[in-house]
Structure 1
Amino acid sequence: MKIKRHSAALGFFAAGTLVLSACGTDQNVPQGGGNPALAGLNVDCGTKPVSAEGSSAQKNAMDVFARDYGIACEGQQLNYTKSGSGKGVAAFTAGQIDFGGSDSPLDEADGEVAKAAERCQGNPAWNIPMVFGPIAVSYNVEGVDDLVLNADVIAKIYQGQIKNWNDPRSPR
C-alpha cells in the first residue's frame, strides 16, 4: 500500500507544530518592544477595538496576533473569543464581530458565502489561511499495527522520498 502525500503533509505539519509549540515562552517580545516583522509597516489602526471569535484551535496564535496588534497600534486591542468555528462564522455573517476564525473556509452550499457577501455589502469575504494544526497521520495497512513514523520519516514522506509503508528507512 502506498502512502498518500496529503496524509503525509498533515503529519509533517503536526510534527512541526508540536515541536514549535514546545519551544520558547509567552513573552517573545524583543528588547525595545514589538515584532521586528512589523517594523516599518504602515498599519491602519482604526479607532475602536477589533472583535473576533471562532476556532479554539486558533486561540494561541490569535493571542500572539493580538499582542503584536497592540504593539503596532498603541492603545488598540484585538479581542478574540474561542467559541468554535461554527459560532465564529455565524457571528461574522450576522455582523456581530469584525472577523471569524474557522477551521474550514466558508461553505457555499450552506449559504455562508452569500451571507458573508451580504454582510460585506456585496464584497466577497476572504478566507485567509492563518494557522495550521492537524492532529495525526493515519494509515490503514492490513496486518500492520505498530508502524513508527518519527519526524525524519514524516519529512521524507512529505518530500516524496518514502513512498511505501515498508520502506527500509522507516524505523521498526
Structure 2
Amino acid sequence: MTSTSIRRAIVPGIAALALALSACGAANEQSGAADAGGELSGTLAGGGASTQQAAMGAWAVGFQGTHPDVTIEYDPIGSGGGRENFISGAFPYAGSDAYLSDNEGELSAATERCSGDVPIQVPSYISPIAVAYNLPGVDELHLSPQALAGIMAGTITEWDDQAIAADNEGVDLPAERINAVHRSDESGTTENFTDYLTTVAPDEWDAGVVETWPTEYGGEGAKGTSGVVQTVANSEFSVGYADASQTADLGKALIGVGDDFVEPSAEAAAKILEASPEAENASDTAVIYDLDFATEEAGTYPIVLTSYLMACQTYDDAADGELVKAFMEYVVSDEGQDQAAAEAGSAPLSDTIQEQALAIIESIG
C-alpha cells in the first residue's frame, strides 16, 4: 500500500466543512469534555478523506441526536492531508481511504504522535468507487478493465473506440473525444483506483499504485471528490472516478468482472471483503485489508475503497479521548452504519468486522 511522505502539517481551515451542529453556543467551542452530569459537550474537529464527506454529515446529525452539546467538524482535505494532520497532532482523529504503513514512515510517525502506542485504525464503511460519466444519450455503459485503464492512461481517446464499442453492442457511442477527469490532490481514492488498474490491467496502466495522479497521462484534474463530480457533471463526454455516494444523477459504468458487468451498488461492493485478506500490518489495534481487486466472484463490484478512521489509544487531553471514543463508537454502531447507508449510500460493515472495530475503540482511554 503506497503512502505519502511526511510533510510539516498545516492546520486547514475547518470552515471548509464545518458540520456545526451545536445547540449550546459559545460554551461548546471548547475542546470536548464531559460536564458534571456526565454528558458530553464541546467540539471535535478532524478531517481527511473527501469520500467521507457525505457519511460524516450523516454521522454528525445522528450523533448530535444523542449528544446535543457536541459539535462535530470535518474538513474534507483528502486522505493524505488527514493523515498528515493526525500525525502532527492538529487532528485528534482523521479519516483516510488508505491505511497507515511504514513505506514512507507514516506508521512510525503516528506511533510517536500517540505517545509510543500504535494508532487505532478501524473501517468506517465500505463504498464503491464509481466510474461516473456524462455521455448524452447513453443510459448504460459497459467498460472492461482494459478499456477503463486505457481511457485513464490516455491511450483510448475517443468514445467510439473499438475497445469500448465491443462491450456496448447496440449503443450509439458518439465520435467525441474523451475528457478523462482525475483527482488533482493527494487522494486515497486515487490510490485504491490505481491499485485496481495496476492489478487488473497492468499492460494498459503502467504507472503503478499512486496517491497523486501521474501528470504525463493527461486528462483534467479536479480537487476532491466534489471537484471530480462537478467537473464531470459540467462537461459533456467526460468520465471520472469518485465515491459512488456522491455521484448523484451521473451515469455510472458497469465494470467487467469475469463474464459479467457489475454496477457499483453498496451490496456488490461489500462482497469484496469476503474475498480479501487482512493487510500484513493488521493487528489487535488495526482492522485493515488489502482488497482483492482481481476477484471474479459473481455479483462483486471490484473498484472499492474501505474508508478508515484513525485515532490514538490514549490522549494527553482526556476530553479529546472521550469525544473521539464516543463518536467512533457511534460511527461503527448499528445506528451509525444504518445512518450512513441511508444518507450516503455506503455498505454497512459486516457483523464480524463491526465487532472487531468496536472492541478496539472501546480500549481508548
Give the match for residue 95 of structure 2.
101
The question of 1:160 aligning with 2:298 is answered yes
**Unaligned ranges ≥5, structure 1:** 1-43, 163-172
Give the match for residue 69 of structure 1.
63
The question of 1:145 aligning with 2:151 is answered no
Give the residue type in structure 2 aligned to 1:140: Q
How far off is 1:78 after superposition?
1.2
Give the residue type in structure 1 aligned to 2:130: I
Task: Output the CA distance in 1 between the equivalents of 2:81 and 2:299.
Answer: 41
| Structure 1 residues 145 and 53, CA gap change in structure 2 (3 angstroms) | same
Query: 1:1-172 to 2 correspondence within 5 Å?
Result: 46-131=40-125, 132-136=127-131, 138-140=144-146, 144-146=163-165, 147-148=167-168, 150=254, 153-154=261-262, 159-160=297-298
Aligned alpha-carbon RMSD (Å): 3.2
User: What is the DSSP-based 3-state SS (H/G/I as helix, E as strand, rest coil) of the residue aligned with 2:46?
Assistant: strand
Task: Output the CA distance in 2 between the equivalents of 1:161 and 1:53.
Answer: 33
State, as a whole percentage, how many aligned pairs show the same letter: 23
Give the match for residue 31 of structure 1.
none
Q: Considering Cα pairs closer than 8 Å and 6+ residues apart, tell me whether 1 or 2 has the greater RCO.
A: 1
Give the residue type in structure 1 aligned to 2:44: V
| Structure 1 residues 85 and 46, CA gap change in structure 2 (3 angstroms) | same
Give the match for residue 14 of structure 1.
none
Residue by residue over 1:127-147, the C-alpha shift from the partner in whole angstroms, topping out at 9 and shown as x without a partner, is 222232413365227x64232
Aligned length: 119
**Unaligned ranges ≥5, structure 2:** 1-37, 132-142, 148-161, 169-252, 269-294, 301-365
Task: Output the CA distance in 1 between the equivalents of 2:97 and 2:299.
Answer: 30
Give the residue type in structure 1 aligned to 2:76: K
How far off is 1:105 after superposition?
0.6
1:69–1:77: 8 Å Cα contact kept in structure 2?
no
Task: Output the CA distance in 2 between the equivalents of 1:110 and 1:120.
Answer: 18
2:44–2:72: 8 Å Cα contact kept in structure 1?
yes
| Structure 1 residues 96 and 140, CA gap change in structure 2 (3 angstroms) | same
Task: Output the CA distance in 2 between the equivalents of 1:87 and 1:102.
Answer: 9
TM-score, reference length from structure 2? 0.29
User: Which aligned runs of 4 or more in structure 1 are off by greater than 6 angstroms?
Assistant: none
Task: Output the CA distance in 1 between the equivalents of 2:115 and 2:39.
Answer: 22
| Structure 1 residues 46 and 108, CA gap change in structure 2 (3 angstroms) | farther
Give the residue type in structure 2 aligned to 1:72: T
Residue by residue over 1:98-152, the C-alpha shift from the partner in whole angstroms, topping out at 9 and shown as x without a partner, is 11111211131111111111111122212222232413365227x6423257598
User: What is the DSSP-based 3-state SS (H/G/I as helix, E as strand, rest coil) of the residue aligned with 1:49?
Assistant: strand
How far off is 1:93 after superposition?
0.6
Higher strand share: 2
Give the residue type in structure 1 aligned to 2:83: V
Give the match for residue 19 of structure 1.
none
